[in-house]
Chains A and B, each alone.
Chain A
Amino acid sequence: MKTQYCFKKRLRLYSLFIVVMLKSKTFVKKTRSGGVMKIVREHYLRDDIWCGSEVCTECKQESTVLQRDACIESSLCSYPHYLIPDTNVVLHQIDVLEDPVIRNVIILQTVLQEVRHRSAPVYKRLKDIVHEKEKHFYTFTNEHHRETFIEREPGESANDRNDRAIRMASKWYSQHLKTSETGADGLKVVLLTNDQGNKQKAEDNGLLVYKCEEYIKSLIANPELVDHLALSNDEKNEITSSKVLFPEHLPLSKIQAGIKSGSFLQGTFRASRDNYLEATVFVQGEGEDSTEVLLQGLQNLNRAVHQDVVAVQLLPRDQWVAPSSVVLQDEGAAKDDNAEEEDEEKETSFSVKPTGKVVGIIKRSWRPFCGMLNVAQIKESTRHLFTPADRRIPRIRIETRQAATLAGQRIMVAIDGWPKHSRYPNGHFVRSLGSAGEKDTEQEVLLLEHDVPHQAFSQAVLSFLPKMPWAITPEDMVRREDLRNLTVCSVDPPGCTDIDDALHCRELENGNLEVGVHIADVSHFIRPGNALDKEAANRGTTVYLCGKRIDMVPELLSSNLCSLRSNVERLAFSCIWEMNHKAEILKTRFTKSVINSKASLTYAEAQMRIDDTSMNDDITNSLRGLNKLAKILKKQRIEKGALTLSSLEVRFHIDSETHDPIDLQTKELMETNSMVEEFMLLANISVAQKIYDEFPDCAMLRKHPPPPPSNYDILLKAAKSKEVEIHTDSAKALADSLDVAKVDGFPYFNTLLRILATRCMMQAVYFCSGMDSDFHHYGLASPIYTHFTSPIRRYADIIVHRLLAVAIGADSTYPDLMDKHKQSALSNNLNYRHKMSQYAQRASVAFHTQLFFKSRGILNEEGFVLFVRKNAIIVLIPKFGLEGTVFFDTKDKAAPNLVFDEEVPSLKVEEHTFCIFDKVKVTISLDASNVQHQKIRMALIEPVIPGVSVPAPDVGPQAKKPKLDR
């Protein structure tokens, strides 16, 4: 065994001002193979680290962060002061620190490092605060400062050492500011810590030190800050009874040992939506086999919260139970301690599932939750329960003095902890989102609940934007093809400001046609790895809500520099085909280019130009050429078996003043829609092929798996009821049989059938070509597909752009782009964001629909039965694209006689039988009995079933809503 040493010469750099001193930091680490390694890191100390204060005359700093008049009105500290929080204060009270009142804070490097170690989200928030200029937060690199660096001493724990380093730095600051005191401002530093021992030691050192609570409570001008305080340990004790309700969680080392030996299982905790005493833990097994473990009862759930990563222990087989079918909601704050309310309902053994109990928490995934306050019965009480909007999250106990103002508002609450003797977790108020039911508030809630990152872009991100005024440089022109002379135009929906595609078509001298699709060159502006790129990768997609757009990239790019607006020069990535008049591709090439769009048209405008025979300009001719080719392309595609499915998309007419929806209609499709779509598909397929040929291992592609045959059951049964046969053997067969499916006297039948077919489909997903072997896109009937055409609003397209740019030698590559595991992880995030953005969109539409019906009162509409369930029918109102459920069993009314036949499927209610596609008439109204979960309520009018249907109410805006039972 030969060990080689590197004999490094000790560097002692003496320059005029800077003295660098070298220390080495030594620690011992256990290696993966079980060995022990001593690691030595060189640590340089310097004396050119400045204090960052405006007051200081000694430090040769160029700019200062901390203000001279650092005044926060406090009854404890009447003098101007800077705050130095310790690590735990930052970790637990980040909500307080984020408040605009708190300014002039020194964040020590020790604290920053510890925070980074312990919690990545808090670290990110802290970094964001530090970047914010108005907050005057200064990071002091005390670990590299010659006078504040300390070495760990024998017998000192790492935490004690860090506490000492914090005290050392505070001491340095207080002395430093004293000596450099120029105008006798009496500037002081105040150390904030919640650690009693640390506080004592700091006081012994003669430092100004307060507990965080003490200090925040002393802020006379801002009493509301107190609510943001997270509850600390000793305060928790007085809140709850000393009775232990939950078993202790095991320490991490034991959990790890248990998982290794197989006695525990690790999985993600998923609380049940319907029963607060039940949850499942999803255990990811090797490869495909993953299991679910059922948990029942508060004790077994043992303080796990939805989405936590937990360790579970399986119970003996004779204690296994079946999931209960009871809906249980945690209702009372009063029956606080009856934890023994587990339902003892034992079902027959055939449906029992592996049952277990939570023994420990591996990783909490607590985030601030949206919800509403249940104001306590006792008026003076400051402790209240908070009910999250998500039913899977337990109620949270918080302390606030503003209960009266917060009642009726949507608020955010963060969980601080869940002691073992407390029925509910303890938390603190983060912020108010506004009154419940208001549009802005609800929008915020749905963004938060769908985990859509929607904060304004941080300074770090914005710093990577090109400087304005921006212009195309000669270097750009050299490297790009000049296509400014081409008659390029864009066709988009009205009001679109992020135009990412433009088209052209012209006849070549040889009689063939040249068609070009020009896509905004976003990857030119977003360089890999910088903050802008990371932010865009995290956001994944632009989210379109009704009347609001949450951008993936800052507006300067999305609506200006990248948007291919008319009559400005823009950078583009072009895909140019040479085609004959039969739309057969003869040549394909890709190039980075500069274009100058001649017109930005809407679908309707473009349609008008094509139809207007009197117009004969270049743009119109180009459009006609495109349209002609698009029709041929579409025909070819449909012949290959591409599906045309249908889903009703609703468009709201929004009042320009109040932003309230005044009308809603389903979207219409024009020929030009399909024209643009056809060429986008073509470009995507061409690009997919190119990048896959070039990078078989790391191309980012999109696939649409065929649905399993069982998915079609409902479609087949529904069609059969109208004596129509649907073939689902292949996409082609399905498309053909859908085309011929018609019922006389029922024109809407085909659309309904297509809607049903859409519901049978699987989600299309992004994936990395090196990680999968099945590339087929079922819906488009294409063997390969990707997304290339919307880089402004989808991150996947940016990656595809980069890959294509490397493939044609227009740009350089970088390691992450070629790493299939990283690509795969990225596609997972994109799929998640994409899914969430769709849910958010739907939720937004649903909310606007509610607003619409709120203003309309009660409406009577005709609809069709879309699905039949055991106790309800689901009705689609084509006029509004609205779907709703008509329940036949309500809680306090005697249920009518229901007979459900799964084979047809049909539901017999008393004497009437409902089948799919039946025409019904319903009343639509808004059920506002539960403020947090408002919903559209439907009741049957026709057919008339005694005791079930309701009489048609008078329709009119003044109609008073009848009291709804719920």
Chain B
Amino acid sequence: MATVQVSEAEKVYILHGIRDDLRVDGRGCEDYRHMEIETDVVSNTDGSAKVTLGHTVVLVGIKTEIGKPRPMLPDEGYLEFFVDCSANATPEFEGRGGEELGTELSNTLYKVFNNKHSVDLKSLCISAGEHCWVLYVDVLLLQCDGNLYDAISVAIKAALFNTKIPRVHISADEEGGKEIELSDDPYDCMRLNVENMPCIVTLCKVGHRHVVDATLQEKACSVASLIIAVTHKGTVTCARKVGGGSLDPESIFEMTEAGKRVGKALHAPLMKLLQQEESLGKTQQKVGFLG
């Protein structure tokens, strides 16, 4: 993970600020940095989104393909995650430097998103046991400035919201052989229901308090953090502790409560924003990567 070196004096400064609910950049402990979301940024994907959170930039592209359902779940499609840590983000990622982080991130994403409570996997089934849609979720880290989990989860949710799966129907001939037929209208496509999809909120324990959306400096002062996935209703679907330090049960409880609160507050404006952008349709002004 991208890290920065923080001197003792800086640490003290940050710690004291957080104790007084005033962070270095002027935020309170439960405030996010400025976030920008743009969907449909990569035209050759089926759905894509770019999220900028502070200086963290994440791009998510979704590719849909027809595959074979998993033998244990014949009537469900599934998601595959791949996180690519571009050396653009930090020189540490050069070569195979980002691989470990990438694997760690994708494992977490798999846990959070690939279950039927988050995504309606049944709707991805084309014909039970034979064909289903597989969504390849490719995450590209373009810049790292802390709080990757949250940014990625928001980007994935936005990208899945944006995903258009071509509509297919199965035609069977007399012999029982099945043929997949494709609608020739590019607008004839299926959308995913992303309502129940959780967002990840990472809470960093700094001193005796905890902050959301920690910058790299804050992260350097933190001993441990808790990653929790929260749905729009405030339900926690997944929690994970990362970092070397320990957390006492009481603070875990506190952090979970704070996470639920923040998560719930995050969902509402996100969905509103996404719907707003969708309604713009073709008139939407693209910002892209140079904007």
- Give residues in A with beta carbon < 8 Å to B: 1-3, 5-7, 9-10, 24, 26-30, 34-36, 38-40, 151-158, 253, 257-258, 260-261, 263
Distance from A959 Cβ to chain B, minimum over Cβ atoms (Å): 70
- Would A152 and B45 count as touching, CB distance under 8 A? no
- For the complex, give the distance between the alpha carbons of A263 and B168 in Å: 26
- Interface membership of B43, Cβ < 8 A: yes
A/B pair count, beta carbons within 8 Å: 78
Question: Cβ of B65: which chain A residues have Cβ within 8 Å of it?
Answer: 35-36
Distance from B160 Cβ to chain A, minimum over Cβ atoms (Å): 16
Give 6 CB contacts A-B under 8 Å.
A5-B44, A26-B186, A36-B166, A36-B168, A151-B282, A154-B185
Question: Cβ of B42: which chain A residues have Cβ within 8 Å of it?
Answer: 5, 7
- For the complex, give the distance between the alpha carbons of A520 and B174 in Å: 62
Question: Cβ of B63: which chain A residues have Cβ within 8 Å of it?
Answer: 3
Contacts A10-B288, A40-B44; A261 near B184 (Cβ below 8 A): no
Distance from B40 Cβ to chain A, minimum over Cβ atoms (Å): 11
- Interface membership of B25, Cβ < 8 A: no
- Would A3 and B61 count as touching, CB distance under 8 A? yes
- Would A1 and B290 count as touching, CB distance under 8 A? no
Q: Which of B246-291 contact A (CB under 8 A)?
A: 282, 288-290
Distance from B263 Cβ to chain A, minimum over Cβ atoms (Å): 30
Give me 19 other A-B pairs in contact (C-beta within 8 A), A151-B282, A152-B186, A154-B187 excluded. Answer: A1-B82, A2-B84, A2-B138, A3-B61, A3-B82, A5-B61, A6-B44, A26-B43, A27-B186, A30-B180, A35-B66, A36-B64, A38-B45, A38-B64, A153-B187, A257-B179, A260-B177, A261-B173, A263-B174
- Interface membership of B8, Cβ < 8 A: no
Question: Cβ of B66: which chain A residues have Cβ within 8 Å of it?
Answer: 34-36
Question: Cβ of B184: which chain A residues have Cβ within 8 Å of it?
Answer: 157-158
- For the complex, give the distance between the alpha carbons of A10 and B171 in Å: 41
Question: Cβ of A30: which chain B residues have Cβ within 8 Å of it?
Answer: 180, 182
What 9 A-B pairs have minimum CB-CB distances, sorted nearest first?
A154-B187, A40-B44, A257-B173, A28-B166, A24-B43, A40-B43, A261-B175, A30-B182, A3-B63
CB-CB contacts of B177-217 with A at 8 A, as 1s and 0s?
10110101111000000000000000000000000000000
- For the complex, give the distance between the alpha carbons of A18 and B46 in Å: 32
Residue of B43, B82, B179 with most chain A CB atoms under a 10 A cut-off: B43
Contacts A1-B82, A9-B290; A34 near B43 (Cβ below 8 A): no
Distance from A477 Cβ to chain B, minimum over Cβ atoms (Å): 54
Question: Cβ of B168: which chain A residues have Cβ within 8 Å of it?
Answer: 36
Determine which of A7, A38, A158 lies in contact with B46 in the assembled complex, contact meaning CB atoms within 8 Å.
Answer: A38
Distance from A515 Cβ to chain B, minimum over Cβ atoms (Å): 65
Residues of chain B at interface, number, CB under 8 A: 34
- Would A1 and B136 count as touching, CB distance under 8 A? yes
- For the complex, give the distance between the alpha carbons of A258 and B282 in Å: 42
- Interface membership of B30, Cβ < 8 A: no
- Interface membership of B92, Cβ < 8 A: no
Nearest opposing residue in chain B for A256, CB measure: B179
Question: Cβ of B99: which chain A residues have Cβ within 8 Å of it?
Answer: none
Determine which of B136, B171, B174, B288 lies in contact with A3 in the assembled complex, contact meaning CB atoms within 8 Å.
Answer: B136
- Would B290 and A10 count as touching, CB distance under 8 A? yes
CB-CB contacts of B88-130 with A at 8 A, as 1s and 0s?
0000000000000000000000000000000000000000000
- For the complex, give the distance between the alpha carbons of A156 and B290 in Å: 33
- Would A155 and B185 count as touching, CB distance under 8 A? yes
- For the complex, give the distance between the alpha carbons of A261 and B289 in Å: 51
Nearest opposing residue in chain B for A35, CB measure: B66
- For the complex, give the distance between the alpha carbons of A726 and B84 in Å: 83
- For the complex, give the distance between the alpha carbons of A35 and B63 in Å: 12
- Would B187 and A155 count as touching, CB distance under 8 A? yes
- Interface membership of B80, Cβ < 8 A: yes
Question: Cβ of B64: which chain A residues have Cβ within 8 Å of it?
Answer: 36, 38
Question: Cβ of A38: which chain B residues have Cβ within 8 Å of it?
Answer: 44-46, 64, 166
- For the complex, give the distance between the alpha carbons of A28 and B65 in Å: 12
- Would A36 and B182 count as touching, CB distance under 8 A? yes
- For the complex, give the distance between the alpha carbons of A380 and B179 in Å: 55
Distance from A118 Cβ to chain B, minimum over Cβ atoms (Å): 15
Question: Cβ of B43: which chain A residues have Cβ within 8 Å of it?
Answer: 24, 26, 40
- Would B45 and A5 count as touching, CB distance under 8 A? yes
Distance from A152 Cβ to chain B, minimum over Cβ atoms (Å): 7
Nearest opposing residue in chain A for B168, CB measure: A36
CB-CB contacts of B39-77 with A at 8 A, as 1s and 0s?
000111110000000000000010111100000000000
Nearest opposing residue in chain B for A151, CB measure: B282
- For the complex, give the distance between the alpha carbons of A263 and B177 in Å: 13
- For the complex, give the distance between the alpha carbons of A158 and B188 in Å: 12
Distance from A44 Cβ to chain B, minimum over Cβ atoms (Å): 14
Question: Cβ of A9: which chain B residues have Cβ within 8 Å of it?
Answer: 289-290
- For the complex, give the distance between the alpha carbons of A724 and B63 in Å: 82
Nearest opposing residue in chain A for B167, CB measure: A28
- For the complex, give the distance between the alpha carbons of A170 and B84 in Å: 50
Nearest opposing residue in chain A for B44, CB measure: A40
- For the complex, give the distance between the alpha carbons of A34 and B136 in Å: 18
Distance from A122 Cβ to chain B, minimum over Cβ atoms (Å): 23
Question: Cβ of B84: which chain A residues have Cβ within 8 Å of it?
Answer: 2
Distance from A960 Cβ to chain B, minimum over Cβ atoms (Å): 69
Nearest opposing residue in chain A for B65, CB measure: A35
- For the complex, give the distance between the alpha carbons of A10 and B286 in Å: 11
- For the complex, give the distance between the alpha carbons of A156 and B186 in Å: 9
Nearest opposing residue in chain A for B179, CB measure: A257
Question: Cβ of B61: which chain A residues have Cβ within 8 Å of it?
Answer: 3, 5
Distance from A65 Cβ to chain B, minimum over Cβ atoms (Å): 34
Nearest opposing residue in chain B for A23, CB measure: B43
- For the complex, give the distance between the alpha carbons of A436 and B42 in Å: 67
Contacts A24-B43, A261-B175; A3 near B138 (Cβ below 8 A): yes
- Would B187 and A7 count as touching, CB distance under 8 A? no
Determine which of A3, A26, A261 lies in contact with B177 in the assembled complex, contact meaning CB atoms within 8 Å.
Answer: A261
Determine which of B44, B80, B180, B185 lies in contact with A157 in the assembled complex, contact meaning CB atoms within 8 Å.
Answer: B185
Distance from A39 Cβ to chain B, minimum over Cβ atoms (Å): 8
- Would B180 and A34 count as touching, CB distance under 8 A? yes
Nearest opposing residue in chain B for A2, CB measure: B82
Distance from A260 Cβ to chain B, minimum over Cβ atoms (Å): 7
- For the complex, give the distance between the alpha carbons of A6 and B140 in Å: 12
Residue of B63, B80, B136, B186 with most chain A CB atoms under a 10 A cut-off: B186
- For the complex, give the distance between the alpha carbons of A777 and B65 in Å: 55
Question: Cβ of A155: which chain B residues have Cβ within 8 Å of it?
Answer: 185, 187
Question: Cβ of A27: which chain B residues have Cβ within 8 Å of it?
Answer: 186
Question: Cβ of A39: which chain B residues have Cβ within 8 Å of it?
Answer: 44
Question: Cβ of B80: which chain A residues have Cβ within 8 Å of it?
Answer: 1
Residue of A30, A151, A156 with most chain B CB atoms under a 10 A cut-off: A30
- For the complex, give the distance between the alpha carbons of A154 and B136 in Å: 26
- Would A28 and B173 count as touching, CB distance under 8 A? no
Question: Cβ of A151: which chain B residues have Cβ within 8 Å of it?
Answer: 282
- For the complex, give the distance between the alpha carbons of A842 and B26 in Å: 99
Contacts A26-B186, A36-B182, A38-B166; A7 near B173 (Cβ below 8 A): no
- For the complex, give the distance between the alpha carbons of A151 and B186 in Å: 11
